[in-house]
Amino acid sequence: MRTKSALAITLLALTFGFIGFYIFNRSTSLEKKSATALRLQQEEDEQEEGGIKRRLYEWKMLHDPATGEIPRDAQRKDLALLATIKARQSKPGFRQTINNTYTAAGPSQNGGRTRTVAYDMRNNGVMLAAGVTGGIYRSTDGGSSWTYVSPVSDVRIVTCMAQDPRPGFQDTWYAGTGELLGASAAYPNAFVPGYGIYKSTDNGLTWTKLSSTIISSAREGFDSIFDMVFNIQVDGSGTVYAAILNYIIRSSNGGTSWGLVLNETGELENPDQQIENMITDIVISKPGVVPVRYYACFSGRNRDRDTAGVWTSTTGAFGTWTRIGHSDQVAGWRAYSNTTDANGDYTGGWGKTVLAVSPSNSNILYVMYQNAFSASLSVPEADLFRADLTNFPTVTWSANRGPNLQATRNVPLSSGGGTQTKYMETQGGYNMLLAVHPTNPNIVIAGGVNLFRSTDGFSTTGTFIGGLTATNYSDPNEAVHVDFHSFAFHPSITNRVVVGSDGGLAVTNDITAGTVLWGGLGNQYQTLQYYHVAIDPAAGSLTFGGGAQDNSTTYRDSKGFLNGSGLQTPVDANDHYVLIGGDGGSVALTSGAGTNQYFFGSVQEGSVYRIFANGAASALSGDLKPTGAQSEFITYFHLDPDNTNVMYYAGLNSLYRTTNATTVSASGWTQMTGVASTLTGNIFSLATSRGTYNGSSSHLYIGTSNGRIYRLTDPRDAAPSAIPVNITPSALASSTSSLVREIAVNPRNPDTVLAVVSNYGVASAFWTGNATSASPTWQLVEGNIASASFRTCAIVATTTGVEYYVGTSIGLFSTTTINGASTNWTMEGPPVLQGAIVNDLALRTSDNTLLIGTHGNGMFYTTIGNVPTAVPDVIVNDKRFITSVFPTVITNDINFRTGTIAGIRNIHLRVMNMSGQILLQKTQGYQAGTVQLGNLSTGTYLLEIWSDDRKYKHLQQFVKAK
């Protein structure tokens, strides 16, 4: 949710000409040092409200306008559609119309949000980890490299896993799915269901969903009690325990069936209870350590007061559990309360609770729960207790050690220096990590936004060992990231521990060291979540950029423009530099054909920065955000890919323009007042017609959050007061909250436009062949993937025709034929792309290289067919081509007269209704003629006439009378 990065140049850096940007990459070696470079490290202490704004942004993209909510069954329907498509394409004889080869483009050394990581207890080289929306990855070399192993056509939101500890059964693993807090695309539902538990019987190589966990609970609002699996544990007898919504359950037959262990007695999704109050946890003492102890907990804001708290058992069976932790039992424990104030904030009680049992002493338990405080008030957001069950049933509880969940952070000089007290920040329970050392029950790690360590069980304040940049710990390759979720201690090297965070995986060989040394552990762990991507306009270049969730702006520097800048050399071709900071948004690159390149990146809520990549002269601009502009959470701008000094910035419903992108400052933009006076929704997509700029033949297409598409002609030179034309499809016009997420223009023809809407429950894909006409006719082209969320699109011209691509919530799809509601889309890509959330596409027309940005699996690229010979820009309604079309109100025939342009041999005619359906088409010589239309029904139609060289086009709307 937060990241450590520089957002602006300090006065000191400007004065002495230091390299003006913060940049880092990951390394697979603990010993590899980054090159000496002065880096700006102004920390981004994003407040919790940033997470709310992120979810609101994603809610705008995905909610069903009819209900105002993201459908709770959206993902289930996506998976069902994905399975259907996969089954169809797997049948013998299925012929793929387009068969591109896709290549991973990283980032190869830094991953995304990671909820779970584990070692194989027998073979320490085998590790498993899962990125949220990225799926399961497996390593056979101790984390030095990773391979994607998630099931194709199934959910990728994996949040916990456990191995069967019994000798002879240790190839068996279980993995739980579903993310309740902080999930992307979760507002206001605040969760993404996972739908069940996976099982592997070949040590994590392959996984299948347990059929017993794909059930209907017949409870309103939830399809299954397995929608959220918070934790999985396996005891020494092979019995599997799962902490799910308001239940602790177990299976003694490998997941074939389940029995109740503990439960809240009210109904699931009781109207008096919020879903975040149904969180549970389960931990079991390490096999071989006696006595065997099971511990479980329920949120203290659970509606059932008699269930809330911490429980224990020595057998794990139903009816054997004793509650040991509650406000009625433990001094200093928060009083039970599940009430909220007028703003919906909890005023007391305790919320999400996590447990950690000492591996070396099963009688020692640590409990950390979310309290109702805010770290902004200089207090920790969690309480911590230690329980000793040595003399059970007497339980000895410590006093509340929560006030000690703080540490002194030594701020680097590049960020101003000095010290700062950081308090435990849980961000509403989003990040809560609690771990006990394998052999020393007093060494405890507690993680939230930052990572703290204690050698006395937090009897005193902790030590700052990770998170925001600090000199307390050593992290030469910037491997450790903020927002901690998961951990795994090495089975035999007791001080070696891996942590999972919003930045992937990091490892230290000695968690007890005075200065903890961190290294990267993410080689080929490709799990970054992109919002937008960009491609170098220079033909043949594999330089890419991307703006990622909580992972800043990444730069794949294939031409080495940053060589000599004093920064660490990338580990491999797919190792990206990470620049600027925060949540990345839009990105853009100017041509990198020479020895330098300008690269534009952005930060949440509007900031834009320009990086000049030119070796030792590399530098970062100040914030380029237009003076007075506002912005969505994810900053959006558009750099004309064929005229890269022209940039447009989306300031909510306002548009700002510059024709000097490589030199513009915040005060140098021109506000397009005519756009602001016309638009009522916020701008979410911009697309320019392709090719050399050509005045009135050039267009800017604008998509908004209230279901509108506009066209602005001559956008570079138009007067600021120029009014854009509303060209919204009629099937979209009735919606006031459908979000037009992306628009694509045919590289050879500005009249051919594809637009996609990302919301569920609405018409989502539209195509027109006459976008520059006064009233374009659109076809609805969702076809066989209508129920998916459409995120992005591209139109690619080849020597054999035109190909269309859409990125969706279930992968990348293509077609060569637009045919209205019957348009047939085919799934593209290797297994890792099939089912991935494809958030953005960037096309380079000079060599038809298409860059794919996913929200969970990084970047991929492909080169598509052969690029057709360029043709001049289309000239519309030139009287030298067609002098007249008449009459415009007909009863039978319509006539046309040709002009005198030399070189045209044939013309192509077609008649369409206002929905874009082609009713008649024919080809004839370039001469005057008549089209017989007496059989048409009464209504309005469009006649389209093309020259055979596709250079000229004439459009005429007409009415058929009775």
The whole-number pLDDT of residue 273 equals 57
The whole-number pLDDT of residue 186 equals 41
pLDDT digit string (tens) for 817-830? 999 999 999 999 99
Is 948 among the domain residues? yes
Using DSSP, state whether 863 is helix, strand or coil.
strand
Q: Cα(366)–Cα(358) distance, rounded to whole angstroms? A: 8
What residue numbers bound the domain in which 914 lies?
A: 875-960
In this structure, of 9-23, 334-348, 402-416, 433-447, the range with the lowest mean pLDDT score is 9-23
| Over residues 204-214, mean pLDDT | 94
pLDDT digit string (tens) for 942-958? 898 988 777 788 989 89
Q: Average model confidence (pLDDT) for the chain?
A: 88
Cβ distance 461 to 472 under 8 Å?
A: no
* Residue 916 belongs to domain with CATH number: 2.60.40.1930
The residue among 71, 108, 24 whose CA lies nearest residue 573 is 108
Peptide bond between residue 537 and the one before it cis (omega within 30 degrees of 0): no
Q: Cα(378)–Cα(406) distance, rounded to whole angstroms? A: 9
For Cα atoms 506, 6, 414, give the angle at the middle one, nearest 5 degrees: 90
Given a cut of 50, is residue 219 above it in pLDDT? no
Cβ distance 381 to 370 under 8 Å?
A: yes
Using DSSP, state whether 735 is helix, strand or coil.
coil
Burial of 507 (0-12, 13-18, 19+ CB in 10 A): buried
For Cα atoms 469, 475, 481, give the angle at the middle one, nearest 5 degrees: 55
Given a cut of 60, is residue 39 above it in pLDDT? no
Is 898 among the domain residues? yes
Element (H, E) at 61: helix 49-62
Element (H, E) at 732: helix 730-733
Using DSSP, state whether 758 is helix, strand or coil.
coil
Q: Cα(570)–Cα(106) distance, rounded to whole angstroms? A: 12
Residue 277: pLDDT band (50, 70, 90) is confident
- pTM beyond 0.75, yes or no: yes
Contacts of 211 (CB under 8 A, 6+ apart): none
Given a cut of 90, is residue 607 above it in pLDDT? yes
Q: What are phi and psi for residue 624, nearest 5 degrees?
A: -95, 0
Is 955 among the domain residues? yes
| Over residues 662-686, mean pLDDT | 97
Q: Cα(806)–Cα(227) distance, rounded to whole angstroms? A: 29
Cβ distance 619 to 683 under 8 Å?
A: no
Single-letter amino acid, residue 763: A
Is 901 among the domain residues? yes
Q: Tell me how crowded residue 962 is: count the other CB atoms within 10 A of its CB.
A: 5
Strand 939-947 to 406-410 pairing: unpaired
Is 922 among the domain residues? yes
| Over residues 629-646, mean pLDDT | 94
pLDDT digit string (tens) for 925-947? 899 999 999 889 999 888 989 88
The tally of CA atoms less than 13 A away on the side-chain side of residue 457 is 19
The whole-number pLDDT of residue 235 equals 98
Q: Cα(301)–Cα(371) distance, rounded to whole angstroms? A: 10
Q: What are phi and psi for residue 637, nearest 5 degrees?
A: -145, 165
Task: Give the per-residue SS3 of 418-469.
Answer: CEEEEECCCCCCCCCEEEECCCCCCCEEEECCCEEEECCCCCCCCEEEECCC
The residue among 533, 604, 636, 534 whose CA lies nearest residue 857 is 533
**First-last CA distance in the chain:** 63
Query: How is residue 756 written in tokens?
Result: 């996609």
Cβ distance 201 to 172 under 8 Å?
A: yes
Is 460 among the domain residues? no
Tell whether the torsion through CA atoms of 792, 797, 802 and 803 is positive or negative. Answer: negative
**Residue 676 CA: distances (Å) to CA of 95, 634, 679:** 48, 19, 6
The whole-number pLDDT of residue 21 equals 35
Distance of CA 546 to the CA centre of its chain: 11
Q: Cα(504)–Cα(26) distance, rounded to whole angstroms? A: 10
Cβ distance 229 to 241 under 8 Å?
A: no
Given a cut of 50, is residue 9 above it in pLDDT? no
Provide the β-strand partners of residue 703.
685, 709
Is 321 among the domain residues? no
Cα-atom radius of gyration of the chain, to the nearest Å? Answer: 30
The residue among 550, 549, 676, 543 whose CA lies nearest residue 599 is 543
Cβ distance 238 to 164 under 8 Å?
A: yes
Strand 952-960 to 939-947 pairing: antiparallel
| Over residues 42-51, mean pLDDT | 43
Q: Cα(132)–Cα(485) distance, rounded to whole angstroms? A: 11
pLDDT digit string (tens) for 330-375? 999 999 988 888 877 788 889 999 999 999 999 999 999 999 999 9
Query: How is residue 634 written in tokens?
Result: 């994810």
Q: Which string of b and e fits 68-92 if b means at least 16 CB within 10 Å?
A: ebbbbebbbebbebbeebbeeeeee
Residue 12: pLDDT band (50, 70, 90) is very low
Single-letter amino acid, residue 39: R
Given a cut of 90, is residue 380 above it in pLDDT? yes
Query: How is residue 642 written in tokens?
Result: 């064929």
In this structure, of 35-49, 152-166, 237-251, 554-568, the range with the lowest mean pLDDT score is 35-49
Q: Cα(446)–Cα(437) distance, rounded to whole angstroms? A: 11
Contacts of 570 (CB under 8 A, 6+ apart): 25, 109, 557, 576, 577
Strand 114-119 to 127-131 pairing: antiparallel
Query: How is residue 163 written in tokens?
Result: 């191995």
The residue among 466, 475, 465 whose CA lies nearest residue 502 is 466
Strand 709-713 to 309-313 pairing: unpaired
Provide the β-strand partners of residue 387.
365, 397
Residue 71: pLDDT band (50, 70, 90) is confident
For Cα atoms 312, 318, 323, give the angle at the middle one, nearest 5 degrees: 30
The residue among 129, 228, 771, 769 whose CA lies nearest residue 501 is 129
Provide the β-strand partners of residue 486.
500
Q: Cα(593)–Cα(536) distance, rounded to whole angstroms? A: 9
The residue among 909, 897, 891 whose CA lies nearest residue 959 is 891
Given a cut of 60, is residue 49 above it in pLDDT? no
Q: What percent of the chain has pLDDT over 90?
A: 70
Q: Cα(813)–Cα(538) distance, rounded to whole angstroms? A: 26
Give the strands of the sheet with 838-844, arranged side by side.
Answer: 103-106, 859-863, 849-854, 838-844
Provide the β-strand partners of residue 910.
921, 944
Provide the β-strand partners of residue 896.
885, 929
Given a cut of 70, is residue 30 above it in pLDDT? no
Cβ distance 670 to 712 under 8 Å?
A: no
Is 910 among the domain residues? yes
Q: Cα(232)–Cα(221) distance, rounded to whole angstroms? A: 24
| Over residues 485-508, mean pLDDT | 96
Kindly provide the residue ranges of all beta strands, DSSP E only, lying in 735-785, ordered along the sequence. Answer: 740-746, 749-757, 765-768, 778-780
Single-letter amino acid, residue 644: T
The whole-number pLDDT of residue 951 equals 79
**Residue 657 CA: distances (Å) to CA of 222, 665, 683:** 47, 12, 14
The tally of domains found in the chain comes to 1
